[in-house]
Amino acid sequence: MNRKNLFGLTLDELIAELEPLPKFRAKQIAQNIYKHGKISFDEMTDLPKNLRAELSERYEIKIAELLTRLDSRDGLTTKFLLGFDGAAVEIVLMRHDYGNSVCISSQVGCQMGCKFCASTLKGLERNLTAAEMLAEIFFVEMFLRGDGQKLDSVVIMGTGEPLMNFDALIKMLRLLHEDYCLGMSYRKITISTCGVVPAIKKLRDEKIPVTLSISLHAPDENLRSELMPINSAFGLKTLLAAGDDYAQATGRRVTYEYILLGGVNDTEEHARRLAKILSGQLANVNLIPFNPVSERNFLPPTKSAVQKFFHFLNTHGIGATIRKEMGADVNAACGQLRAKFDGR
Ligand code: SF4
């Protein structure tokens, strides 16, 4: 008999599923799974033995299958490829000096077509479910607990456009935040979007103060449309207005991601235009020197171009940081491990 997977159900869903079991039992089970990481009913020793046996017959707690793992030489980055029902999904654990962070995927493949990205080369295969996204985070939390550590923050910036998988994303975030789950503060969660403007407004209306990170990558309409097809649907002006509106409504500073592509968008003139369009916004810019992808014909910027761009923004009223390069030796840029795995 096929056993139903309980992982990913909210407490209300567990209560409904386990009826006529009393609600407190459903809560015990939720805490056992999410808080204590028990993925076998036998380990739930606060439940009567006969109940554990009954549950094992009808249900399972299935998380994710580890397909492969790569560790960077400096030990700071670990990349995992996880399997969910035939789909392969990448996640990256980054050990920063301010805590452990995981970057998760929201879809298998991506339909958004950004020209510098490997994840979109085969289009969208499917959305990940809320349970699968939670399982990505949970996998890393369990991995860290094994080392006596914990997960401090979550970034939804891997493969896929999270706002194109909106309902599953919101369900997962709310579950992740629950006390009976990992109790993750919304402020420790960052959602990255390539600029799906109507969904940014929907996210604002959810009233969960997650940090919004908008992938900008160009300071004018023409160049952005060349690099990111989404710009033809929602132009730069509309996107910046949506970002500003999100910042005002949540009080959270919006991060604008800007991938520096050698000779394409990395000159002082580009920096000047970027400073102009962001002037007066509650925002900061995260500069990302392009990490070469064998399937894409872009070059990394020179070190001097990165420094000049950074200096220009910071001396013209725009707070900017340069993303620390982590795990280049394990292909940390999104989609690369999966693409290699698929192509074996
Ligand atoms: S950068 Fe993000 S949104 Fe753009 S194609 Fe890649 S995964 Fe999709």
Cα atoms in the 13 Å half-sphere on the side-chain side of 62: 12
CB-ligand 1 contact for 120 (6 Å cutoff): yes
**pLDDT score of 342 more than 90:** no
Centroid of ligand 1 to alpha carbon of 113 (angstroms): 7
How far away, in angstroms, is 258 Cα from ligand 1 center?
13
pTM given for the model = 0.93
Q: Is 155 a residue whose pLDDT tops 70?
A: yes
Task: Tell me the mean pLDDT in the region 6-16.
Answer: 98
**Ligand 1 atom closest to Cα of residue 228:** 4
pLDDT at 33 over 70: yes
What is the CB neighbour count within 10 angstroms for residue 257? Answer: 18
**Ligand 1 contact via 118 beta carbon (within 6 Å):** no
The percent of residues in the chain predicted with pLDDT above 70, rounded, is: 93
**Closest residue to atom 6 of ligand 1, CA basis:** 117
Among 112, 122, 196, name the best residue to mutate to test ligand 1's pocket (greatest count of ligand atoms within 8 A of Cβ). Answer: 112
Predicted local distance difference test score (pLDDT) of residue 344? 36
Report the alpha-carbon distance of residue 255 to residue 188 in Å, rounded.
Answer: 14
CA–centroid distance, 308 to ligand 1, in Å, is: 27
pLDDT beyond 80 at 283: yes
Handedness of CA 302, 305, 309, 310 (dihedral sign): positive
Residue 277's pLDDT band (cuts 50, 70, 90): very high
The single-letter DSSP state of residue 253 is P
Which of helix, strand or coil describes residue 4? Answer: strand
Give the model's confidence band at 337: pLDDT under 50 very low, under 70 low, under 90 confident, else very high. Answer: low
pLDDT at residue 86, as a whole number: 84
Q: What is the pLDDT of residue 223?
A: 97
CA-proximal residue: ligand 1, atom 4 (nearest): 114
pLDDT by residue (tens digit) across 73-125? 999 999 999 999 889 999 999 999 999 999 999 999 999 999 999 899 999 99
Tokens matching residue 132 = 């699968």
Measured from the Cα of 160, ligand 1's closest atom is 7
Q: Which residues are catalytic?
A: 90, 334
- Does ligand 1 come within 6 angstroms of the Cβ of 214? no
Which of the four pLDDT bands, split at 50, 70 and 90, describes residue 330?
A: low
Amino acid at the residue 238? T
Which token pair is 45? Answer: 């020793």
How far apart are the CA of 320 and the centre of ligand 1, in A?
22
| pLDDT score for 334 | 52
Q: Is the CB of 159 under 6 A from ligand 1?
A: yes
Domains of the chain: 4-60 (1.10.150.530), 65-342 (3.20.20.70)
pLDDT of 343 reads 44
Based on C-alpha coordinates, what's the Rg of the chain?
Answer: 21
Q: What is the pLDDT of residues 197-249, one digit of tens each?
A: 999 999 999 999 999 999 999 999 999 999 999 999 999 999 999 999 999 99
The sign of the CA dihedral 99, 6, 210, 118 is: positive
Q: How many CA atoms lie within 13 Å of 96's alpha carbon, on the beta-carbon side?
A: 14
CB 334 near ligand 1, within 6 Å: yes
In this prediction, residue 329 has a pLDDT band, given cuts at 50, 70 and 90, of: low
> Taking the chain, what is the end-to-end CA distance rounded to the nearest angstrom?
34
If we measure between CA atoms, which residue out of 191, 297, 195 comes closest to residue 250? 191
Q: For residue 229, is the peptide bond before it cis, meaning its omega torsion is within 30 degrees of 0?
A: no
CA dihedral sign of residues 95, 87, 215, 330:
positive
Tell me if 33 sits within 8 A of 61, measured CB to CB: yes
Q: Is the CB of 134 under 6 A from ligand 1?
A: no
State in Å: Cα 256 to ligand 1 middle.
Answer: 15
pLDDT, position 149: 96
**pLDDT on residue 249:** 94
- Over residues 28-49, the mean pLDDT reads 96
- Average pLDDT score, the chain: 93
Per-residue confidence (pLDDT) for residue 318, from 0 to 100: 95
192 lines ligand 1 (CB under 6 A): no
